Chains A and B, each alone.
Chain A
Amino acid sequence: MAAKALPTSESLLLAGMDLTEEDIERRKAFLEFREDDVERLRGLNDVAEKYADSVIEDLYEHFLSYEETRAFFKDSATLSRVKKMQKEYFLQLTQGSYGLSYIANRIKVGLVHQRIALDVKWYLGAYNFYLRAVMDRLFEGHTKKPNGAIAVLRSLMKLVFLDISLAIQTYVRTIQQQQAAIRELSTPVLLVRPRLLMVPIIGVIDSQRAQQLTESLLGAIRINRAKVVVMDITGVAAVDSKVANHVIQTVAAARLMGADVIVTGLSADVAQSLVALGVDLSRIKSVGDLQGGLEEAERMLGYQVVPLAERPTAAQRP
């Protein structure tokens, strides 16, 4: 990795996106964005200055004529602020410097759009509008030599697609971060009574999480000297043969440590689909709901839960 001195905020932003200078160069190379493209775009700067305001006006008129995009411009102050920023961006496109600060700027813009929850479809639609608006004006100015206009347009397309890829990456990145956060939600192992543990599982069970779960459960069995474990999978989004196998493995591991596992919360649909899949659940003890599971566990441990009113009085006690 090139250890060039970058302004900290920019390098942080790039690091957060797992982007290095090398990556950016690779991207540009893939788009065949070269020096002559930079030159061509820089040559367009005068034209851009001239048309900037009209392009931006058209773009925002377009935004305001659709309900979904209009919602993002609540007042005129917001509108004029974003228009100003949009103009800056528009002019940057032809300023010929597409280095790290340009890239960092694109990512920042992408993050802002992602944060205000602008859907990707509107984002891409806006880029399309942009390109068309610029195209129209380019050909107006280049009526004499359309080949020149096409060359400039090709360069501009490369740059715009570079920008789009960066912006979309911020969206994807956020989704990945959220998935990681969900995965890391720990699965608590709770002690309900002496020697009785409960494990409520919520979300998705993949092999990584199943492993984590099994390890923490086995540790808890030893620490609490548990004899019975109630594992509730009501909150597991989808139970297929893979998930069932993870559950079977966890049950087998707990049994090796002398603990019985009762699985609860298999819904009617889940039960039917597991049977249809032919998953061998003969080694799993399963009870319909969590209440039933706890009652069964208490029975196995020799507890009996009696309402206070029905408690045997001293005289009745043997």
Chain B
Amino acid sequence: MPVPILKQGGVLIVSVQAALTDNDLVALRDDLAEKVGRFRSHGVVIDVSALDVMDSFATRTLRGIAETTALRGAKTVVVGIQPDVAFSMTLLGLTLDGVATALDLDEGMDLLAAPIRRRGDDGA
């Protein structure tokens, strides 16, 4: 199932609604990389609040997306990681280093609007 990518001003919003297969993730990465350039976006927000599992492949792909879009001039923020997902991710050592994170879509938009403090940059 392809993931819808919405354009809101200079920001692309990806709302993940269901668990993604590895192929979906790869398709999303390619799609985003292309659209960031086409829409000349400066930011990408990926909302994963509907996910209750985040495995190593998903984590790696998210990081890949963040790095790819950064090279194309857009900052990626992953938002809406649920508390228990965050907890199990840290237990597995999947800490999404170098990727900005925010509580929810609002926060993510704020972070992109005022990129004073680039969270995630200091630790990576």
Contact = CB atoms under 8 A, between A and B. Distances in A.
Given A258-B103, A260-B119, A222 B83 contact: yes
Nearest to A226: B103
A255 B103 contact: no
Contacts of A211: 87
Interface string A215-247: 100110110011100000000000000000000
A253 interface: yes
B79 A258 contact: yes
Contact of A219 (B83, B85, B96): B83
Interface string A35-79: 000000000000000000000000000000000000000000000
Contact of B95 (A222, A256, A258): A256
Contact of A253 (B87, B102, B123): B87
Given A222-B103, A258-B107, A253 B119 contact: no
Contacts of A258: 79, 81, 101-103, 107-108, 119
B1 interface: no
A300 B83 contact: no
A252 interface: yes
A250 B87 CA distance: 8
Interface in B62-112: 79, 81-87, 89-91, 95-97, 101-104, 107-108
A32 B43 CA distance: 78
Contacts, number: 66
A44 B83 CA distance: 69
A208 to B, nearest CB: 13
A218 B103 contact: no
B89 A256 contact: yes
Interface in A121-162: none
Interface residues of B, number: 25
Interface in A252-305: 252-260, 282-283, 285, 300
A249 interface: yes
A300 B119 CA distance: 11
Contacts of A226: 103
A187 interface: no
A248 to B, nearest CB: 9
B113 to A, nearest CB: 14
Contacts of A255: 95-96, 101, 119-120, 123
Interface string B47-62: 0000000000000000
Contact of A221 (B79, B83, B84): B83
Contacts of A221: 83, 103
Nearest to A302: B116
Closest CB pairs A-B (n = 5): A218-B83, A258-B102, A256-B86, A253-B90, A252-B95
Given A226-B103, A252-B95, 13 more contacts: A218-B84, A218-B86, A218-B87, A222-B82, A249-B91, A252-B90, A255-B101, A256-B96, A257-B81, A257-B103, A258-B79, A258-B81, A258-B101
Interface of B: 79, 81-87, 89-91, 95-97, 101-104, 107-108, 117, 119-120, 122-123
11 contacts: A215-B87, A218-B83, A221-B103, A225-B103, A254-B86, A256-B81, A257-B81, A257-B83, A257-B86, A257-B101, A259-B103
